[in-house]
Amino acid sequence: MTKSHLISQPTSQPHTTADAVPFSTWLAILGMNLGALMSSLDVTATNASLQDMTGALSATLDQGSWIATAYLIGEIIVIPLTGWFARIFSTRWYMTGSTVLFLVFSIACATATNLTQMIAFRGLQGFCAGAFVPVAMAYVLRHLPSSKHTIGLAMFGLTVTAGPAVGPVLGGWLTYAYSWQYIFYINLLPGAFMLATCVFLVEKEPMSLGLLQQGDWLGIGSMAIGLGCLQTVLEEGNRNQWFSSAFIRQFTVIAVISLGLFLAIGLMRKRPFINLRLMGRRNFALACLVNFVAGCGIFGAMYVLPVYLDSVQQYTPYQVGLTLFWNGIGCAVVMPCLPWLQSKIDSRMIVAAGCAIFAVSSFIDSGMSAQSGTPQLIEPRLIQGVGQSLITVPLAGLATAGIESMQLNDASALFNQVRYLGGSFADAIFATLIQHRSEFHYDRLRGDVTLYSEAVQQRLQDMTQYFVGKGADLVTAQKQALAAIAQTVQQQATVMAINDCFYLLGLLTLCSGIALLFMKKSQGSSGIVH
């Protein structure tokens, strides 16, 4: 990046009428951000109601996991394509079409009568929703003056950080108060507003349908197959014992070959469908690295904590959602302050502070006990939300500093793609880590719990008397007491494994901050070259 690519700090220039933004533009940005909110919210909204959904669809919980997997596969395939589609159809008509189809498939999901239909409709719903996040970010950067970028990005950041936290709460409440179908019907109202803004407020641009004939179809095909297989491996790997499964091995081979072909094509062709050469820009590449780790942290924490609340505290999905909701509160408190902070402090320092604060929340979580409930988890959730906010928005500005306007769709797609990939890798890694570390801790604890221990003997006697008092005979009570002690040991092993995961999350987030030392200072919130 050269100095000519940078623009001066918004605060160093007096505000002019050129910085004035029409109300219609703000409405269009609001519509775009509502789309980003729906996209991120729908990732987790079904988690709280999976049992009800699978029951209605005559499926098992393991089979029902594909309801979420299909949506993520659809999203992760389309995100890299959004820049290309926006150039072909124009932002206005691409977003209009995606919104209409998203609403159609939302209704289709609500009216699905079997698991096959649900999986197919969820995949198509995710394919449409995947466009919303990168296009919303690119729209903010393209249609706001540099002095307003931080405000627009704060609006955008709030949607993508709060959405996953709000999803389980909203999904659980709708299922409890009405039925699981309303998880999909709830998309209709914000979707209608978004559709109206796309049709009436997004400016007209010429379409370039000729690009379809010049399309890099081999690159597109290899990317779609590769990412689809990769997401399948990450989502289903732990449930299928990873590489001991022929299914996982086959999909891994296909993913490696397809993604290798995609990268080769993207770097060799002069006009690939997505500009991978953006990764050759220092700030962008390093920002993507930090964003990948941030994705690991955000989505990893949202995977690990519910495992604890469900398996140890026996929380309902709705109660889990209420606990996670405090994360969104932390985000909502900080986001309005970010424009002011970025006008006073180097964005690199803000992101570094965000990484440190997020790590602190993870280290606090790593000290959980079997008695930790929502009251004890509110503080780290608030701290985590603050850290997320300080990472998300300034990092987007650092990533796009010096990016030409025509490259913003590609840059936004790649930037957001790595966050979703980070989340997918985190879910896979932590699912496996919890399983193996639980076994490790259980074996170690079981070795310390012997009948020769006075403490164990006393605990056994107390519990035996407890079950006798409940009406059991002595032999049955002794068996129940032994089973209860074994369950306690298993529970403690699970807690220790989850603490290990949070500790690792803290270390990863701290280490990602090292990348900021190698970033060039951005003299503006985004430094776009027009």
CA distance 268 to 276: 10
Residues 188 and 238 in one domain: no
Residue at 175 is within a domain: yes
Within 8 A by CB and 6+ apart from 393, the residues are 150, 153, 154, 156, 157, 335, 338, 342
User: Are 79 and 187 found together in one domain?
Assistant: yes
pTM (two decimals): 0.79
* Claim to verify: residue 97 and residue 74 sit in the same structural domain: yes
Residue 455 backbone dihedrals phi, psi, to 5 degrees: -65, -40
User: Looking at the domain assignment, is residue 362 inside a domain?
Assistant: yes
Does the pLDDT value for residue 526 go beyond 50? no
Number of domains in the chain: 4
Residue 529, classed as helix, strand or coil, is strand
What's the CATH code of the domain at 168?
Answer: 1.20.1250.20
Report if residue 522 sits inside a domain. Answer: yes
Same domain, 229 and 160: no
Each residue of 179-237: pLDDT tens digit?
889 989 999 999 999 999 999 988 888 888 777 777 677 878 888 888 888 888 887 78
pLDDT confidence of residue 121: 93
**Is 149 within the bounds of a domain?**
yes
459 compared with 416, residue with greater pLDDT? 416
In a domain, 415, yes or no: yes
8 Å CB contact between 292 and 418? yes
Q: Domain range holding 529?
A: 279-438+504-530
CA–CA dist 125, 106 (Å, integer): 7
Q: Note whether 401 and 282 are within 8 A (CB).
A: no
Same-domain pairing of 120 and 49: yes
Query: Quick check: is 3 in a domain?
Result: no
Q: Are residues 446 and 434 in the same domain?
A: no
- Specify whether 28 is located in the same domain as 44: yes
Both 326 and 371 in one domain: the answer is yes
**Rounded-to-integer distance, Cα 126 and Cα 68, Å:** 9
Query: For 257-261, 345-349, 478-482, which range has the lowest pLDDT when averaged over its residues?
Result: 478-482
- Chosen domain end from 214, 229, 252: 214
**Same domain as 192, residue 259:** no
Residue that terminates a domain, selected from 191, 214, 237:
214
Q: Which of 199, 214, 229 marks a domain boundary?
A: 214
Q: Distance between CA atoms of 123 and 497, rounded to whole angstroms? A: 33
Q: In this predicted model, what pLDDT tens digit does every residue of 28-72 receive, in sequence order?
A: 899 988 988 888 888 778 776 777 888 888 887 677 777 877 888
pLDDT digits (tens, 9 = 90+) for 280-336: 888 888 988 888 888 888 888 878 888 888 888 888 777 877 888 888 888 888 888
Q: Where are the alpha helices (DSSP H) in 269-407?
A: 282-311, 317-334, 338-344, 347-365, 374-400
- How far apart are the C-alpha atoms of 360 and 316, rounded to whole Å? 27
Q: Which of 235, 232, 224 is nearest to 250 (CA)?
A: 232
Angle (CA) 359-364-368 rounded to 5° is: 135
Tokens matching residue 99: 């919104």
**Whether residue 251 sits in one domain with residue 184:** no
Q: Which residue has the tokens 């394919």?
A: 127
307 lies in the same domain as 182: no
**Domain assignment of residue 173, yes or no:** yes
pLDDT for res 1: 39
In this structure, are 126 and 231 located in the same domain?
no
User: Does residue 497 belong to any structural domain of this protein?
Assistant: no
Over residues 402-407, the mean pLDDT reads 79
Q: How far apart are CA 380 and CA 323, in angstroms?
A: 11
